[in-house]
Amino acid sequence: MDVVEAMRSRKSIRAFKPDPVSKQVLEEILEAGCRAPSALNTQPWEFFVIGGDALKQVCEENVKHLKAGAPLELEVAESAFPRDSVYRKRQVELAKQLFRLMGIAREDEEKRTEWTQRGFRHFDAPAAIVIVQDGSLTGPGPLMDIGSLMQSICLAALEYGLGTCIARQGVYYPDVLRKVAGIPKSKKIVIAIAIGTPDWDFPANAVETDREPAEALTTWVGL
Ligand SMILES: Cc1cc2nc3c(=O)[nH]c(=O)nc-3n(C[C@H](O)[C@H](O)[C@H](O)COP(=O)(O)O)c2cc1C
């Protein structure tokens, strides 16, 4: 697939066919993903790839925690968006679009709850790639590198006919992941990427998120 075409067609997939993704394909995707750039070639990332019964256990325990109202926990900083900002507006627009596609009314608590749980279930994907960084690494630098890695993984997945969703929701209960996947305390859990064959019949997968035109964001200097 042409690189620019891949960048344009990549989108977050929030429902998957149950077909498993082979370990070999996942290995190839991670191998390609690891070609991502990082500051001084530090490559501040490691993976725990979870599937099968282990992923089922993670999803069940996540939902159990969520239902019990267990506090959400992120091991790397979450951004806060000012209330009246354009960032908050874009976030609200995404939620509105997803809920519209899913037929979830504002007051429909049951469907909203089910929708939230889907994220904590890694969108029922057959596999989840959990990205961790060593606990000795601090500051935003490693996260920049992991950002480029995430995109590389999502683009590589397309070549195999697979879809992805990068998701914080998948790592809000780090202790669940630590227990099931054996992630040591010396590693900080950064993010998860759900991966599998997209279920194109699932309404939310029709989402088309907007982008600000680059023209509106760019100041040209000397050109
Ligand atoms: C760091 C990061 C965290 C994300 N976390 C979630 C998440 O928890 N749940 C979710 O449904 N989507 C999540 N997403 C997906 C974004 O909502 C999505 O990328 C954005 O709306 C743009 O849509 P697109 O990926 O379809 O182009 C996350 C994306 C990133 C980059």
Distance 218 CA to ligand 1 centre (A): 23
Query: What are the CB-based long-range contacts (under 8 Å, 24+) for 211-214?
Result: none
Q: Does domain 3-78+119-207 have CATH number 3.40.109.10?
A: yes
Alpha helices in 103-162 (DSSP H): 109-120, 141-159
Query: What are the φ/ψ torsions at residue 186 (nearest 5 degrees)?
Result: -75, -10
- Give the predicted TM-score (pTM) of the model: 0.97
- Cα 140 to Cα 38, 132, 192, 197, 201, distances in angstroms: 12, 14, 18, 32, 38
Its sign, for the CA torsion 72, 16, 208, 48, is positive
pLDDT score of 1 = 84
Q: Is 130 in the pocket of ligand 1 (CB under 6 A)?
A: no
Q: Is 129 in the pocket of ligand 1 (CB under 6 A)?
A: no
Contact (Cβ atoms closer than 8 angstroms) between residue 74 and residue 153: no
Q: In order along the chain (223 residues), what is the average pLDDT of each group of 10 residues?
A: 95 98 98 98 98 98 98 88 93 96 96 97 98 96 97 98 98 98 98 98 97 97 98
How many CA atoms are closer than 13 Å to the CA of 76, on its beta-carbon side? 24
Rounded CA-CA distance 145/96 in Å is: 31
Contact (Cβ atoms closer than 8 angstroms) between residue 127 and residue 26: yes
- Ligand 1 atom closest to residue 11's alpha carbon, by position in its atom list: 26
Q: Is 174 in the pocket of ligand 1 (CB under 6 A)?
A: no
Residue 142 burial class via C-beta count within 10 angstroms: exposed 0-12, middle 13-18, buried 19 and up? buried
Q: In what order do the strands lie in the sheet with 127-134?
A: 46-51, 127-134, 187-196, 163-167
Residue nearest to atom 15 of ligand 1 (CA): 166
Residue nearest to atom 9 of ligand 1 (CA): 167
Mutate to test the pocket of ligand 1, among 88, 112, 166 (most ligand atoms within 8 A of CB): 166
